[in-house]
Structure 1
Amino acid sequence: MRAGAALLACLWLASCAAPPPPAGGGIVSMNPCADAMLLALVPPARIAAISHYSQRPDSTSIPLDVARRFRGTSGTAEEVIGMKPDLVIASSFTPPSTREAFARARLNALYLDIPASIDASKAQVTALAAAVGAPARGAALNARIDAAIAATGWRGPKASALLWIGGNLVNGSQTLLDDMMVRTGFANQAAHYGLAHTGQLPMEQVIADPPRVMLVPEGAGHDSDSRAAALRQRAIAETGLPVLQAQFPRHLVNCGGPVIPAAMTRLAALRRSVR
């Protein structure tokens, strides 16, 4: 895991020498997952700004020191239009009023959804790479994802697991994380409970039908996360449940694309530790 994380950091850092903020043109990203993909696809000088989410420890998928070398956007249409970018990358849930403002300003905008699987994430990489004129880099990134799948695939019995995102929020079925968990040897206990996507999960349900493993946030940085984790740990200790708790880095939860290899490497290592 350390070698994989170091390689990923090197890739980011190699492409992220601090660029001067462009006076106009370039790419503006309002999407934190697009931020991570852009750093793997284009030279830093082409990036006029990234989303403010990537400059916060609880929502970034890239190293904070790298993210803070770029201008961060507050997410308003007025700010983005004023930057006169060549391309805006936003999320599929961008408000209609913002979309209309971009259209009136004749901005070229790409709206990305939340991929629910590795294949969907790879398709998103391909689409973004085409939009920024870097198809070869997109293909190379997808090749790294394929290599991670091949290296971390699990063929034995699966261990039931819950992956907590923060507080009492847990990852359910029909998500990219669910796909990665299943491929690396885990059975998503939240899916067993009937939870799709993400949602709040009461501790009483966990105690009544516990998983073998609970993957808890590492480096989340919120008091509510710490309190929730402490309550779970206390409940497990007092009930004597045979539940293994392991840390899963918070920055591996948010996005796909270049995050997938590191996330799958960590999940595979955790699965191998379960007896």
Structure 2
Amino acid sequence: MRSILPLLLLAGCSPHGAAGGGGIVSTNPCADAMLVRLLPPSRIAAISHYSQDEGATSISLAVARRFRATAGTAEEVLTLSPDLVVASSFTPVATREAFARAGLKTLYLDAPQTIEASRAQVRDLARAVGATAAGERMVARIDRTLAATRAPAGPSALLYIAGDLATGSGTLLDAMMTHVGFRNAAARYGLSFTGRLPAEQIVGAPPAVVIAPGGGRAAMLRRRLLPGVPEARLPRSLVNCGGPVMVPALRRLAAIRQGMGR
């Protein structure tokens, strides 16, 4: 399968970058979720500070706090002299240039919008860190979960990531919702990708179910304006990333779907 993600880039050719000395540094929280499952802790020099934030992490805080965290600044990363930096495709140009000048190996990962792209990203990262076999095991686990959770199209659902921020078409969450048998109601309100969708906007034609992390002012308002619409909980930690996070996310979405019957 041909990957749509960037391949491992060798930025520069200084002896410092070639020799390395600090293991792997990740400034990408979704890479963190893969790395902690692909590699022994001794190979991970630092992870993203987002993974130590309860509202942003995709791994347990207990696991995240075993590692050093970095905010992803060039200065922080360079002091660690890593063998490889795994970062986001949204990394600022100035930071990329600093990594290149230092001769660091870098891997920039996109946010996958499809299940297939997410599976490919697992393989890209596993190959880059020399953990191909572990990557294949991770993909196999994802595939088993996909096979167990596939269902035909059924009720409409609206998935909120946080507050009144909902997921529309063209996202990995949308792909997972569709896979387990939901029809994403976001299209009914003209929402593509991710955007704000206040309760007032959906009250005239509500979905069969709202899926959300729960809590907060937006949730309270939805309950008041949409009293007949059930709201199922999807933990915040399951909406941020793909890869191995798809396994519990798909299982939870499938359980919500099954709980609604036909």
Per the normalisation by structure 1, the TM-score is 0.86
Q: Which runs of 4+ in 1 moved over 3 A?
A: none
User: Residue in 2 aligned with 1:161?
Assistant: 157
Instruction: Return the match for 1:194 from 167, 190, 195.
Output: 190
C-alpha separation in 2, matches of 1:122 and 1:59: 22
Q: CA deviation at 1:24?
A: 3.9
- Which SS does the other structure have where 1:111 is aligned? strand
Q: Which amino acid aligns with 2:230?
A: L
Deviation at 1:191, TM superposition (A): 2.6
Pairwise mapping of residues 26-37 of structure 1 onto structure 2 (< 5 A)? 26-37=23-34
- Residue 245 of structure 1 and its aligned partner are, at CA, apart by 1.0
Aligned partner of 2:83 in structure 1 is 86
Counterparts of 1:265 and 1:33 in 2: how far apart (Å)?
A: 19
SS of alignment partner, residue 254 of structure 2: helix
**What CA RMSD, in Å, does the superposition of the two structures yield over aligned residues?**
1.2
Query: What do the CA deviations read for 1:189-248 (whole angstroms, capped 9, x no partner)?
Result: 113322111100122221011100001214xxxxxx5111111111113xxxx3111111
Shift of 1:107: 0.4
Q: TM-score, normalised by structure 2?
A: 0.90
2:72 to 61, 72, 75: 75
1:8 corresponding residue in structure 2: none
The alignment-based identity, stated in percent, is 60
Q: Which amino acid aligns with 2:170?
A: Q
Answering whether residue 167 of structure 2 is matched by residue 174 of structure 1, we say no
The count of residues paired between Structure 1 and Structure 2 equals: 242
Distance of 1:171 and 1:197 partners within structure 2: 6
Cα distance in 1 between the residues matched to 2:159 and 2:126: 30
Alignment match of 1:231 (pick from 212, 221, 229): 221
User: Unaligned stretches of 5+ in structure 1?
Assistant: 1-22, 219-224
Aligned to 1:274: 260
1:264 is aligned to 2:261: no
Q: Which runs of 5+ in 2 are unaligned?
A: 1-19
1:40, CA displacement in angstroms? 1.4
Letter in structure 1 aligned against 2:234: F
* Partner Cα distance (1:152, 1:43) in 2: 30
Q: Map 1:1-275; keep pairs closer than 5 Å.
A: 24-155=21-152, 157-218=153-214, 226-237=216-227, 242-275=228-261
Deviations 1:96-126 (A, max 9, x none): 0000000000000000000001100001001
